[in-house]
Amino acid sequence: MADSSVASPTAPQTFSWRTQLFRGAMVMLAAGLTAALYFWGNRIPTAALMRYGYVGIFIISVLAYATVIVPLPAPALAFVAGGVLLPWLVAIVAGLGASVGQMTGYLAGLGGRVVVENRGIYARLQYWMRRYGPVVIFVVAFIPSPFFDFVGILAGAFRMPVRVFFFWCALGQILKMLVFAYAGNIWRWH
């Protein structure tokens, strides 16, 4: 029995010029941030930002996770910062920053939905994301993995509510950063 909430992948859809403009802008924004961070990321004064403590950690985490497909090592930042600052606070700040940065993948999905919609697997992916989306987002955010961008793109493409995406992403990121921050704390003091 077919799920009636999942649209047919072959159903023709038309989009207004505003929708097309919005989607194009979201794809360009995500691509532009990724390119900028890839080419100029080594010029970001990481050591200087670390002097700003938790605010610096937040900014670095946002920038590290704002890239689409090309992740930068933010868990390493949580590991180092956890050795000199309060590990639980480092985890919260770094996890929230990572979640804000991950919104670029979500926005790319909002903008690039047409790319996904025209594929035969669209209905199947949409079904799985609607049924298990929050669990998938949490697990993939918790595990250090380059696949999270793909999950974020799918969440945006399938119009998962942004608050649901952000909550489960933040929960997974904060718990991941907690592990790294406490590992750094233990390594530093023992």
Q: Domain of residue 68: give its range.
A: 17-38+45-189
User: Residue 109 domain-assigned?
Assistant: yes
Predicted confidence (pLDDT) per residue in 61-105, tens digit: 888 887 765 556 778 888 888 888 889 999 999 999 999 988 888
pLDDT band of 177, cuts 50, 70, 90: very high
Q: Is residue 3 part of a domain?
A: no
Work out how many domains the chain is built from and give that number. Answer: 1
Asked if residue 140 is part of any domain, the answer here is yes
Q: What is the pLDDT of residues 94-145, one digit of tens each?
A: 999 999 988 888 888 877 655 555 556 666 667 777 788 899 899 989 988 7
Residue 4 lies in a domain: no
Say how many C-beta atoms besides its own lie within 10 A of residue 120's C-beta: 8
pTM above 0.75, yes or no: no
- Using CA atoms, how far apart are residues 139 and 141, in angstroms rounded to an integer? 5
Domain assignment present for residue 50? The answer is yes
Domain for residue 2, yes or no? no
User: Higher model confidence: residue 32 or residue 179?
Assistant: 179
Does 12 map to a domain? no
